[in-house]
Amino acid sequence: MNKKLKNKRLRRQLRTRSKIKRTNPEALRLSVFRSNKHIYGQIIDVKAQGKVLVAVSDKELKDFKGKKIDKAKAVGRRLAEKALKKKIKKVVFDKGSFAFKGRVKAFAEGAINGGLKF
């Protein structure tokens, strides 16, 4: 990746994280990462030095057939199911350096439909 693009992406990511820390520093953070092929989600406990409580990716949905946006929504629902089993109900959504549209938005909608509250 180009150094200039990497710096821009890092700045967007830090901007998002600083807003989260300012508004709700104690909350659990639902972080999403989107690559060209896959989508990943983690619920991170900020108080416990960034310990990952729940993690899920679309690689777990081996039998799923469909578009990437539908898969992202299914991954969001799966993450919500795992979180509710661990009695996690409220999180703060961390989109990282990605725009809140497309697969990232579908992931968030899936998590909300699964029972998580942002």
Question: Do β-strands 51-57 and 92-94 pair in parallel, antiparallel, or remain unpaired?
Answer: unpaired
pLDDT at 111 over 90: yes
Architecture of domain 3-114: 2-Layer Sandwich (3.30)
Q: What is the mean pLDDT of residues 25-38?
A: 93
Q: Please give the Cα distance from 53 to 51 (Å, whole number).
A: 6
Provide the terminal-to-terminal Cα distance of the chain, rounded to the nearest Å. Answer: 32
Mind listing the pLDDT tens digit for each residue in 36-58? 999 999 999 988 888 999 999 99
Mind listing the pLDDT tens digit for each residue in 51-100? 999 999 999 988 888 899 999 999 999 999 999 999 999 999 999 999 99
Half-sphere CA count of 90, side-chain side, radius 13 A: 3
Q: Please give the Cα distance from 109 to 103 (Å, whole number).
A: 10
Domain boundaries along the sequence of the chain: 3-114
